[in-house]
Amino acid sequence: MKRAILVFTFTFAACGSAFAGDDVVSWARVYADDGEAYASLVYREGLDVASVSPGEYVDVIAPQSTLDELAGTGYSYEYLQFDCLSPELRGGRGYSGYHNYDELESDLSNLADNNEDICWLMNLGDGHADMGNIYALKIHDYEPVPEEVVLNDPNKPDILIVGCHHAREPMTVEVTLSFAEFLCQNYPSNSTVKNIVENMETFIIPCLNPDGWIYDDVEGSRHYWRKNAYDYDDDGNYFEDQGWGYGEGVDLNRNYTYQWGYDDYGSSPVWSDPTYRGPSAGSEPETQVIIGLAERVDFVSALSFHSYGEWILRPWGYIDQYSDDNAKFVEMSAVINNVIYDHLGRNYTACGGWEMYNTNGDFVDYMYGEHDILAVTIELNSSGQGGFYPDDSWIGPTCDMTDEVCLTWADWVWDEFGSVYVASGNGAGDEPGAAVVFALEQSRPNPARDVAVFGFSVPETIDGELAVYDITGRKVETVAEGPFDEGYNEYTADLSNLPSGVYVYRLVAGSDSAAKKIVVNR
């Protein structure tokens, strides 16, 4: 059943202009063809930024008075959708294929009930308005006694996938739910899925912001709502707004505790702004859910889905520089982009968050900055695919792509971190102290410049060799020769004598062997 939401309206100032109830709100592209004009626009106080192309344009949701003001200061613009809040335009645009809250709740419950050997459905709480619950599916191989399941199994690497920080991004709910269904449907027939389910723990939160998402309405009546239901004046009216990015509410992706409000640049302290960061760091019940999980679960990597713009964003957002693990983030982004290219014939733009525009208190910076978790944001779809609200004909193709993105990313995470758990006697469904298995991990960094680290585990002390080969099969570097010690082994190799290119490194230990690729780039 659809929930009835009473919408309250009021008049406020936006970008220096009074916003009257009859001031038409449009989705528009404002052109900024140089860096100074772009920066001036994207950091303009109170502007509701939808997506960007640095040095080219900024897509905005704005009343005509704001667009007129921008035109008066030298900017040109075109409408992507004139009067995008018109009720006549909201209905009948192919939205029926999207889930609403009740359908999401039902599908999550059915997934858990029908796959009780691998699914545990958790109710993590709710938001200010208590309109819906924040659900997480934990997918892993366990005995079907949920009340006795430990939240964090120290014997397995954990990954996290989150959708719908921002209410007006319903595609992010679809893709996260789709991957949960994909894992259940393909276990145990798909060997990669089987490994992920049995040897890792996958947490999936399809909708972190149910209050805002329900208000935005996932079928016929879109409000372009961005924030949650924080009630600034505490009068019980959670959505005092004309139905778009301004008014009450907190931008959840500016509310995390790491570098919250840094330099007062990248989020807003003004309660009515689209990027309002909240009254204090981590103040919102939704961000507290993520913070609580991150403090209790040993996540090693995370994906946060947003829309729109076709980006893969890595730390940092709060400062104009890359993180210490930038090479590893670049590698992870490349793994994701390879899948995207196979589906679209083009790559998403992969970069530091600050290269799009500065943020602070966001999910990616928090996960990496406070917990050393390799986290990236994936901005789905484009303006040509409908922006925030693609026609439902885009749901299937987008989910097909992201199912493979998540699967390939999770497999990469296992290659990166699985051997550490295996080497300590963990993983593969074993209890601590169980026999280790033969496993070769991905070298790091990859791409490498002059030096690379190679790690692997062997089930017993054994003779063997680890060597690097060029694409013709010629051995170009011997990294190590056995005997190798039982358990985890790690070697550092000097590759400075190798020209740039793709190589294969191969481990042979007794009757076992394995090989992986490494890229040398200088």
By annotation, the residues acting in catalysis are 379
10 Å Cβ neighbour count for 112?
Answer: 22
76-81, strands of its sheet edge to edge: 48-53, 57-63, 25-31, 76-81
Render 40-79 in DSSP notation, one character per residue. Answer: HHHT-TT-EEEEEETTTEEEEEEEHHHHHHHHHTT-EEEE
Distance of alpha carbon 129 from alpha carbon 135, whole angstroms: 16
Q: Select from 491, 419, 480 the least CA-distant residue to 454.
A: 491
Q: At what angle do helices 171-185 and 395-423 cross, to 10 degrees?
A: 60
Pairing of strands 349-352, 311-314: parallel
Distance of alpha carbon 407 from alpha carbon 81, whole angstroms: 35
Residue 123 carries which DSSP code? E
**What does residue 397 show for φ and ψ, rounded to 5 degrees?**
-60, -40
| Cα 192 versus chain centre, distance | 21
How many residues are given for the chain? 522
Q: Is 236 left (phi over 0), alpha (psi -120 to 50) or beta?
A: left
Distance of alpha carbon 115 from alpha carbon 109, whole angstroms: 10
Distance of alpha carbon 348 from alpha carbon 333, whole angstroms: 9
Distance of alpha carbon 270 from alpha carbon 13, whole angstroms: 12
* Helix locations, 115-241, DSSP H: 171-185, 191-199, 210-216
In three-state form (DSSP H/G/I as H, E/B as E, the rest C), the secondary structure along 165-179 is CCCCCCHHHHHHHHH
SS3 category, 249: coil
Cα first-last separation, the chain: 59
439-440, strands of its sheet edge to edge: 439-440, 451-458, 487-494
The C-alpha angle with vertex 517 and arms to 511 and 522, in degrees rounded to 5, equals 140
10 Å Cβ neighbour count for 114?
Answer: 10
**What does residue 464 show for φ and ψ, rounded to 5 degrees?**
175, -175
Q: Is 315 within 8 Å of 368 (Cβ atoms)?
A: yes
SS3 category, 514: strand
